[in-house]
Structures are given as C-alpha cells and as structure tokens.
Amino acid sequence: MASKTRTALTTLTIDIGGQGIKGMTIQGTETIAAPRHRLKTPRPATSDAVIDTIVKVMHHFHDYHRVTVGFPGVVVGGVVDTAPNLDGRWKGVRLQERLVEAAGIPLRVINDADMQGFGAIEGKGVEMVLTLGTGVGSALFVEGRLVPNLEFGHHPFEHDETYEERLGQNALNEIGPRHWNRRMVRAIKLLRRIFNFRKLYLGGGNSRIIDFQLPADVVVVKNSIAFAGGAKMWELG
C-alpha cells in the first residue's frame, strides 16, 4: 500500500505537443515511476480527437494518484481560451472537466510552458521560461509563484511581428539556424530589459538549435523537466 505522505504520491504528467502527446509517471517530485509513453498528436488536432488520445495515454499507465496535463494554449479555470497550434474550435472547451470525468481522480490542466517552468525554476526572484518549438511558449514566476498564461509569444517583438512569428518553427524553416540565432540574441536582450529576470530558462525542441554563448543568467533545460514540473505543480501551485 502506498504511503499517505505527499512526497509518496505518484503524478501522471501529460504533455500535449504539436507532434506527440507524451505521458510519464513521477513519484514524489523527481523519481520516474514509469517511462515515457508517446502517441502521435492526431491530425486534425480537434478537441475530441486530442481528448481521446489523452485518455489513451492515461489508460497506458497504472497506479497513479493525480494527473497534470500541459496544454499548448491559454487555459483559465480548466476551460480553453486559445489553442493557436491545434485545429478546429477549442475556445470554450471544458477540457479539465472532461478529463476529470475520464480519469476519476484529481486532475489539473495548465499551460504547457507553465508546467515546464515548474520543473525548471529555483523559486528565487523573477524567473522566466521560453519554450521554442512549433510556437513560442512562455512562463513567468516571482519567488516561485506562477503568473499564469503569460503567452508572451504573441506579444510584438520586432518588425511588426510577434516573438512566435520571428522565432517559431515557420521562421526557423524560412531563415535558417544562423539568422534564427541572431534573433534569439536580440530577444534575450529585450526580455532582460523588460522583466529584469534573475534567470531565463530556454526549453522546447528548438532550444537544441542555439549555438551562441549564453549569458550566465540564461540556461537551456531539457524538455523532460516538464514531467517533473507536472508533479511539482501540486506542491508549488
């Protein structure tokens, strides 16, 4: 029988990406209980199709006490407001309610960059996260407390284009890694002036493209920290 202490609880963390929907169980806040399981993100990525795939991921795992789902868009009170890189009508979908019904245990849906941030932060001062992939996700923490649904990727950056338009996958495909890296340098300088962050964490699949010397207050983090973030959220969030 599992211990009733908080640290013994096992969390199933599910990360919804443009290419795959991944799950992993974490005991406590760090120990992997079962390895990652991945299913392809359905196309078109409509709400019903994505929910069905999430449920399949949940059914793959056993012996967990709670679920965290990282969603690529704004989620307020468990209800989807935006899903810019998914398909069909998502606004107004009561995602958390539908997944709680399927899971039958405590479950929370949060922004995917927020979830990765919970895995990255040290809980000191102003900390910021950028996830670089199909789009550009963002998260902001102050003394370990989340400022939810920042969505800074959709804020104007330069040349009347947003951070996502300048640094997302389409931009990388169009201009190539060398020019993309130059844009990243400018973005980091601007974000530092705006937020005065103590530390900036860069994650997402395209963080591997970074090939310039990062300042001491900017670090690249592994995507896998999102799974630990899903567990830590219950302790910190």
Q: What is the pLDDT of residue 150?
A: 87
User: Per-residue pLDDT for 107 more than 50?
Assistant: yes
Does residue 1 lie in a domain region? no
User: Per-residue pLDDT for 8 more than 90?
Assistant: no
pLDDT in tens, 166-225: 999 999 999 999 999 999 999 999 999 999 999 999 999 999 999 999 999 999 999 889
Residues 131 and 213 in one domain: yes
Instruction: Give the CATH number of the domain where residue 11 resides.
Output: 3.30.420.40
Q: What is the pLDDT of residue 77?
A: 93
Residues 64 and 85 in one domain: yes
Residues 78 and 62 in one domain: yes
For 11, the domain range is 6-114+227-236
Q: What is the pLDDT of residue 237?
A: 66
Distance of CA 158 to the CA centre of its chain: 24
Give the residue carrying structure tokens 């990360």: 15
Residues 142 and 194 in one domain: yes
Does residue 110 lie in a domain region? yes
Does residue 76 lie in a domain region? yes
Residues 11 and 108 in one domain: yes
CA-closest candidate to residue 141, choices 11, 70, 236, 73: 236
pLDDT in tens, 38-96: 999 999 999 999 999 999 999 999 999 999 999 999 999 999 999 988 999 999 999 99
Residues 130 and 213 in one domain: yes
Does residue 55 lie in a domain region? yes
Q: Which DSSP letter does residue 159 get?
A: T
Does residue 156 lie in a domain region? yes
Residues 10 and 110 in one domain: yes
**Burial bucket for residue 193 (CB in 10 Å: 0-12, 13-18, 19+):** exposed
Does residue 96 lie in a domain region? yes
Number of compact structural domains in the chain: 2
C-beta contacts of 94-100 below 8 A and 24+ residues apart: 95/47, 95/51, 95/69, 95/71, 96/69, 98/51, 99/51, 99/54, 99/55, 99/67, 99/69
Residues 215 and 232 in one domain: no
Residues 129 and 193 in one domain: yes
Tell me the pTM.
Answer: 0.88
